[in-house]
Amino acid sequence: MTTKDRFNYLTFSDWNAMYHFITSEGDLYNPFLNKYAFTYNNDEAICVYDVTPAEAVELVEQSVENHELWSAFLGTGGQILDNDSLDRNNEQYLAVSYEFCKENYNKVGWMRTDDFFQDSYTRKFIKYQATDAQKKYLGQAIKIHDYCEMSILFDYTDDVHYDLLTSALAEIAETDEKFMIRLENALSVESYIALKDVIPDNEILRNYMEDGIEHMQSILSEN
């Protein structure tokens, strides 16, 4: 079973639901894991590329302009998850694809590629204005942004939010590598809330993260 959670990310009941989604419903992207997954062939093997959020923005632009899937614009470098030495009818042929889904179906952040950065202003900021340092921390900025309560997000348009967040994260990364690693590894609501007492002394980051953590705690208390 596949559903959308409160962050508009997809959640899968088990690994088979994730595999079925990729092979039957559409491509998936996870900006926290930098993973893009799609059906590679008629035998339903999955192919996975490492794609950063900044690279994904380029793929969105190309996809919108040319009405093609992201995979149409990728060259070599993907990992085809099959046992190519085996006959296609061998049940082990797709074992590697199944294993990928078993390892990743419960990770936060999976979405349809069509749902990634549909706002053209945000894409223009990332493509034309963001520095390389800002682009490097875009995935973590997405995470912080998406946990926030809607009221704080009304203050600015999304492109401004991402400018503020990526700038703050790039600054913090220079002095607090330990925190950045913990933030990157926070792939559940609970692990994100656990960052509450270690947020660096940065006013912008603290405003966003404290809002998001309070919001998540409120939601969990209602369930």
Q: What is the mean pLDDT of each run of 10 residues along the chain (223 residues)?
A: 61 95 95 95 92 93 92 91 77 90 93 86 88 93 87 78 96 96 90 94 94 89 75
Say what the pLDDT of residue 168 is: 97
Nearest to 161, CA basis, from 149, 169, 171, 153 = 153
The answer to whether 48 and 78 are in contact (CB under 8 A) is yes
Say what the pLDDT of residue 5 is: 52
Residue 23 DSSP class: H
Say what the pLDDT of residue 71 is: 94
Say what the pLDDT of residue 3 is: 52
**Under the phi-then-psi rule, with left for phi > 0, alpha for psi from -120 to 50, and beta for the rest, what region is 189?**
alpha
Say what the pLDDT of residue 157 is: 85
